[in-house]
Amino acid sequence: MQALMAVWPAGWNRQQRSSATMALAVVLMLAVLWWLPVPLAWAPAPIGEHAELFAEGTRVTVELTVVAGLVGIVLGLLAALGKLSRFGLLRALCGFYIWVMRGTPLLVQVLFVYFALPELVPGLSLSEFSAAVVALALNVGAYNAEAIRAGLLAVPRGQLEAATALGLSKWHTFIDVSFPQAFKIALPPLVNNIVALLKDSSLAFTIGVVELTNAGSQVKSTSFQAVPVFITTAILYLLLTTVMTLFSDAVERRYDIEGKLK
């Protein structure tokens, strides 16, 4: 990351370099998703002949990560606010949600949402992809809730008192004073949760979602060549996590309010 930041023009400040790095990471991700079948097609068997399957699995993995990640941020914010609420019942419900999601394996949660939830809610029908998104979002939302709650508690109390003294309502105090600072404080663990979510999305394989791990497993089942298949799968995951880490590091530097990152 430091080497990449040094590539940009010397006259650019940290925010400009970080923004350029974020844009580069987005372009790299789009290039990977769009052009991946081309280099894979040149790989020896069994990879080359299944290039499109690997590419499609990679796209599904990214889709799972993005959709579940966005929903998880919203759930995390709501759960964090609920846990800080003055209403005891709401605090208990949000605390129970966070306790269950953080205390049980994600694999169990994926299986529960897909197999058990439709039995508990008559008429509910979830596709494999939808069930995976729900389970992943609920799981990452619990971790996001604790990060956001810690950020809200880290906002200096004096600023809240000053906002009250200026006549700001509780809503405007939260929107204009508390949340912007809390979000920047919580940003590092939030982006780390999203990167971890990319790898956790592989558990969607257990309910039949044809993401990257499932694609690799299908190729292995037909070719009986485990070594090249799973090396390729691991390389693709490493490529995705590298690009996402590049983006997340740039986001942290872009919104580094305390100037700790150089």
Domains and CATH numbers, the chain: 2-7+15-254 (1.10.3720.10)
206: left (phi over 0), alpha (psi -120 to 50) or beta: alpha
Q: What token pair was written down for 215?
A: 């694609």
Which residue has better confidence, 128 or 257?
128
Distance in angstroms (rounded) separating the CA atoms of residues 262 and 257: 12
Mean of pLDDT values over 212-221: 94
Tens digit of each residue's pLDDT (9 = 90 or more) over 98-131: 999 999 999 999 999 999 999 999 888 899 999 9
pLDDT value at residue 221: 92
- Arithmetic mean of pLDDT, 148-154: 91
Question: What confidence score (pLDDT) does residue 108 get?
Answer: 97
* Closest among 94, 93, 63 to 76, alpha carbons compared: 94
Q: Quick one: which of 103, 54, 112, 24 has its CA closest to 231?
A: 54
- Pairwise CA distance, residues 25 & 15, whole Å: 15
**What is d(CA 233, CA 91) in angstroms, rounded to the nearest whole number?**
42
Would you state the structure tokens that stand for residue 157, as one six-digit string? 């109390």
Higher pLDDT, 165 or 111: 111
pTM, full prediction: 0.88
Work out the average pLDDT over 156-162. Answer: 80
Spatial CB neighbours of 72, under 8 Å, sequence gap ≥ 6: 136, 137, 138, 139, 140, 141, 144, 193, 197
Q: What is the pLDDT of residue 25?
A: 74
Q: Which residue type does 117 have?
A: L
Tokens at 153, concatenated: 């508690």
d(CA 156, CA 177) in angstroms, rounded, equals 10
Residue 187: name the closest of 254, 106, 142, 135 by CA.
Answer: 254
* 54: nearest Cα among 37, 42, 39: 37
| pLDDT tens digits along 11-64 | 666 666 677 777 777 777 777 778 888 888 888 889 999 999 999 999 999 999
